[in-house]
Amino acid sequence: MPPLDATTSAPDAIVAVRGLSKTYKSGFQALKRVDLEIKRGEIFALLGPNGAGKTTLISIVCGIVNGSEGTVTVDGHDIVRDYRAARGLIGLVPQELSTDAFESVWATVKFSRGLFGKAPDPAYLEKILRELSLWEKKDSKIMTLSGGMKRRVLIAKALAHEPRVLFLDEPTAGVDVELRHDMWQMVHRLRESGVTIILTTHYIEEAEQMADRIGVINRGELVLVEEKHTLMQKLGKKQLSLQLQAPLQAVPEGLADWPLELSADGSCLTYTFDAQGDDTGIAELLRKLNALGIDFKDLHSSESSLEDIFVSLVRSRA
């Protein structure tokens, strides 16, 4: 990413991360100068393999872990200097439920709201519990709930104080299809009500289905931030590879206008085209090759997927 001006952020940015680094006490550097702006009202997916730094990044924004260098603001509030204001705007759904085992669902959700100094609003809490299919369980102790129900409680707790930015850390890891479906619906409903959503995932499919923008993090570095549609266009690219009868020294003059690549040994010509376009240009290319007397013995086509893009990004920096 190009370096960002440290003093300004886009007017529509609700979260601004600037030059954020984190070195744990062990000496391990989990984040390396991350610059990232999250736009107000978007669904942003942070994608990366295990250990990439996703949880570290959101834990810093949520004030659970201290950054080593750099700054983070939430709606203009610095997360260190202006912690309470920043934290009050954020809801966090962590990966696991660690406390409250003996509390009832209702009590824990009510308590979460109170923590942020919000006036009681039983009607609002009832609405959240109903949307999460938790209303019937409101008097149950959390320890008696199934794993899926506990995940729903985590979401209800995160929403109890009406946050403007919701972080979901691996929201669908290990959850059943029904909960995943409910979760996605809820995310879209929240977005419609103006909440900004940031989710971490290592499921590419999830990022594809839900996000407006996608960021890829690997080994503590943000290696790509892109609109999903742009990624989808890249996704739509296809390649046609032609195994030539006789190797070429260079791409012939007559084909200079074509997006062709010649392999290092001159034996394979690769043509990249837009698979979604009306005319792929393949027929014309084959006619040209014929006219130039270039024969091929084999051809095959391949498609790049978000997974390919992701894997190649992650590999190239390994």
Ligand X SMILES: Nc1ncnc2c1ncn2[C@@H]1O[C@H](COP(=O)(O)OP(=O)(O)OP(=O)(O)O)[C@@H](O)[C@H]1O
DSSP state of 53: S
Check residue 141 and report its DSSP letter.
Answer: B
Residues 125-164 that bind ligand X (CB under 6 A): none
Q: Does 105 bind ligand X (CB under 6 A)?
A: no
Least gap, CB of 264 to ligand X (angstroms): 36
Name which of 160 and 197 has its Cβ closer to ligand X.
197
Which residues, listed in sequence order, are joined to residue 222 by a DSSP beta bridge? Answer: 217
Report which of 177, 169, 46, 166 is spatially closest to residue 98, judged by C-alpha positions: 169
Measured from the CB atom, is 53 or 171 closer to ligand X? Answer: 53
Can residue 55 be called a binding residue for ligand X (CB under 6 A)? Answer: yes
**Tokens, residue 271:** 């043509």
Separation of CA 205 from chain center: 10
Among 38, 43, 56, 108, binds ligand X (CB under 6 A): 56
- Using CB under 6 A as the binding rule, whether residue 54 contacts ligand X is answered as yes
**DSSP designation for 135:** G
CA-based Rg of the chain, rounded to a whole angstrom? Answer: 25
The closest of 306, 131, 150, 147 to 234, measured between CA atoms, is 306
- Judged by beta carbon, residue 54 or residue 213, the one nearer ligand X is 54
Please answer whether residues 154 and 108 qualify as being in contact, where contact means their C-beta atoms are separated by less than 8 angstroms. no
Distance CA 175, CA 177 (A): 7
Candidates 45, 52, 72, 97: give the one binding ligand X (CB under 6 A).
52
The residue (of 56 and 196) whose beta carbon lies closer to ligand X is: 56
Choose among 274, 50, 202, 312: nearest CA to 214: 202
What number of chain residues touch ligand X (CB under 6 A)? 13
- 191-210: which residues touch ligand X (CB under 6 A)? 202
Between 225 and 286, name the residue whose CB sits nearer to ligand X.
225
Which of 52, 145 has the CB closer to ligand X? 52
DSSP bridge partners of 226:
214
Report the residue from 36, 53, 168, 179 that binds ligand X according to the rule CB under 6 A: 53
The site string for ligand X over 1-40 (x = CB under 6 A, - otherwise) reads: -----------------------x-x-x-x----------
Task: Name residues contacting ligand X, limited to 256-295 (CB under 6 A).
Answer: none
Is position 51 an interface residue for ligand X (rule: CB under 6 A)? yes
Q: Cα 242–248–250 angle (5° rounding)?
A: 105
The DSSP code for 138 is: T
Q: Taking contact as CB under 6 A, which single stretch among the options 48-56, 136-144, 205-213, 227-235 is the one that binds ligand X?
A: 48-56
> Rule CB under 6 A: which residues touch ligand X?
24, 26, 28, 30, 48, 50-56, 202
